[in-house]
Homo-oligomer: A and B are copies of this chain.
Amino acid sequence: MKKRVTELTGVKEIARRANVSIATVDRVLHNRKGVSKHTKENILSIIKELNYEPNLLAQRLASRKILRLATLIPEISKETSFWDAPLKGIEQADKEIKQFGIIIDKYFYDQNKIESFVEQTKTILDSKPDGILLAPSFIEESVRFTDNCRKLNIPYVLIDSDLPNEGSLSYIGPNLYHSGYLAAHLVSYLIKNEEKILVINISREIDNQHHLLKKEEGFRAYFDNHKKNDAILKIDIRDTDLKSIEKHLSKIFSEHNDIKIVFVTNSRVSKVAHFIESKKKDVILIGYDFLKENIEYMDKGIIDFLVCQKPRQQGYRGLISLYQHLAFSSPVEKIYFMPIDILTIENSAFYRN
């Protein structure tokens, strides 16, 4: 272990060469006023020549600024534990950047109550955070919220689903259409002639759920593109309790005895799995998300494939992006599509959410 050689490229060195004080160099670096044009240009040329990069450690350490970020995502409900994963990612990011002078306030809303969402957005705006991470379930209300953010000059990052209006610092999440398309492609390998495919949407708010619609669209597009869409059945189930779901399923399975493949467009797939298992149906079951209950059915061989998009990473990356943008004004990818991961019983043990 050697000793570190004294840095020859810091503000001090720049100041020495420019024959000014480090304060002046600092002013130039931060584009603050109070420096004559001549001096400024000289310093800039030296900075370029030295290829100077500020020391991030020292920068954060010396900065007395505190950044306050707010996160707004759905609360973890009994219906699905999906949002546990992004929250974990948020907590990890929190832990990592806490000592860099970042405070993260976490807000949650009820996915079944628009008012709870609106209320939380107001609280957040009142608190005037420096940046926001948002999972925008309700499209219209989210658009209104983000419009306000832009007026107040508060950068925001979207996760899990994008919004029609422009202006987010970044979108980090799935490309829903392609994720449905991929599932269809998988299915195409598995299906034989004369066998039917059943598509199932399960959600109280199917019509407001961008997610489900886009996925189904992608799924159907594949079969359209390959000219074999006549084999697709579909049901929408607007109740999320087991009983109702089983009733719907019983009905459709009794009407069609040649259903071979079942595609559930969201993480509720475990409820369908419960039905399949109890009725001992011989079908291939495909659904979404790396949830405990889903993995259990996969390990039992009931669920064959799960499509997953690193929800934990979404929370984590979202915050890190905000932080880097605010603290170092580093560039941020405008759209960061998460990989579309295919899980089976063999690789799920190695999956990193």
Q: Mark A51-83, 1 if CB is under 8 A from B, else 0.
A: 001011110110111111000000000000000
Q: Give the residue of B53, B63, B99, B346 whose beta carbon is less than 8 angstroms from that of A182.
A: B346
Q: Mark A299-324, 1 if CB is under 8 A from B, else 0.
A: 00000100000000000000000000
User: Do residues A181 and B346 form an inter-chain contact, with CB atoms below 8 A?
Assistant: yes
User: Do residues B344 and A186 form an inter-chain contact, with CB atoms below 8 A?
Assistant: yes
**A130 contacts B by Cβ under 8 Å:** yes
Q: Give the interface SS of chain A, mostly helix, strand, loop or mixed.
A: mixed
**A145 contacts B by Cβ under 8 Å:** no
**A1 contacts B by Cβ under 8 Å:** yes
Which residues does chain B contribute within 8 Å of A2, judged by CB atoms?
65-66, 68
User: Do residues A64 and B340 form an inter-chain contact, with CB atoms below 8 A?
Assistant: no
**A185 contacts B by Cβ under 8 Å:** yes
A1 to B190, CA, bound (A): 56
Q: List 23 A-B contacts (CB under 8 A).
A: A1-B65, A1-B67, A1-B130, A3-B65, A3-B66, A4-B63, A4-B66, A4-B101, A53-B99, A55-B61, A57-B57, A57-B100, A58-B61, A175-B350, A178-B346, A181-B346, A189-B284, A189-B304, A339-B341, A339-B350, A341-B342, A341-B347, A342-B342
